[in-house]
Chains A and B, each alone.
Chain A
């Protein structure tokens, strides 16, 4: 079993839709949960992160962690064509952690 599982997509939604991107993980030692966004032919950039369980909101983006079920979600409200990218989840244990990424979900927001 991989440490981090993510549906690779592609996921295609119309502009304005609410998008839900998800990851599952197997390592119960993960404490920090990060989402990176990667545009085509570019390096990933950190979008947002949460620590332990709960929600965190940043503009149109909400990150949610459920440690009991080892499930991570990223919600995008009022999706825009500029949100079209690959979204990668990356959990960390918090101690001498090497970054482990999910496969990434490719999102396409259409006009």
Chain B
């Protein structure tokens, strides 16, 4: 089955630690995205990538980092510089970013700082 896989589903982080969220897609999509979802705030764009080895900051990139070494993979690292990392993180992909483009989402990772 084609789709997007995020892991883990739940993640707990201690203060001061970096953690990496995994996102893999087998849809052969060029574009990939990371969103953060907080109650009452909708989806906010953290980073996006239009093609391998290229990525751009979204609206709330501070405290996060990404890489795009392979087309199918777009991991997100939440660094200790992110002051309020507890949230639901969603990864998405689309064929590209031109014209009409449907985004396909993973099932999300819920990150909690303990």
CB distance from B91 to the nearest CB of A (A): 8
Chain B residues lying within 8 Å of A104, measured Cβ to Cβ, are: 42-43
Q: With A and B bound together, what is the CA distance between A46 and B45 in angstroms?
A: 17
Which chain B residues in 89-113 approach chain A with CB under 8 Å? 90, 92, 94, 97-103, 105-108, 110
The answer to whether B43 and A98 touch across the interface, beta carbons within 8 angstroms, is no
Residue in B4, B33, B99, B106 whose Cβ sees the most chain A Cβ within 10 Å: B99
**B4 nearest CB neighbor, chain A only:** A43
A95 within 8 A of B: yes
The answer to whether B105 and A43 touch across the interface, beta carbons within 8 angstroms, is yes
**A86 nearest CB neighbor, chain B only:** B42
The answer to whether B107 and A43 touch across the interface, beta carbons within 8 angstroms, is yes
The answer to whether A98 and B42 touch across the interface, beta carbons within 8 angstroms, is no
Q: With A and B bound together, what is the CA distance between A94 and B43 in angstroms?
A: 19
Which chain A residues in 74-111 approach chain B with CB under 8 Å? 88, 90, 92, 94-104
Which chain A residues in 41-64 approach chain B with CB under 8 Å? 41-46, 49, 51
Which chain B residues in 38-67 approach chain A with CB under 8 Å? 40-43, 45, 48, 50, 58
The answer to whether A99 and B105 touch across the interface, beta carbons within 8 angstroms, is no
Q: With A and B bound together, what is the CA distance between A36 and B105 in angstroms?
A: 11
> With contacts A96-B98, A99-B103, A103-B42 known, what are 20 further pairs, Cβ within 8 A?
A6-B42, A8-B42, A32-B100, A34-B102, A43-B4, A43-B92, A45-B105, A49-B100, A88-B42, A90-B103, A92-B101, A94-B98, A95-B99, A97-B98, A98-B48, A99-B45, A99-B92, A100-B45, A101-B42, A104-B43
Show the binding face of B for A, using Cβ within 8 Å.
4, 33, 35, 40-43, 45, 48, 50, 58, 90, 92, 94, 97-103, 105-108, 110
- Sampled A-B contacts (8; CB under 8 Å): A44-B105, A49-B102, A97-B99, A99-B94, A101-B35, A101-B42, A103-B41, A103-B42
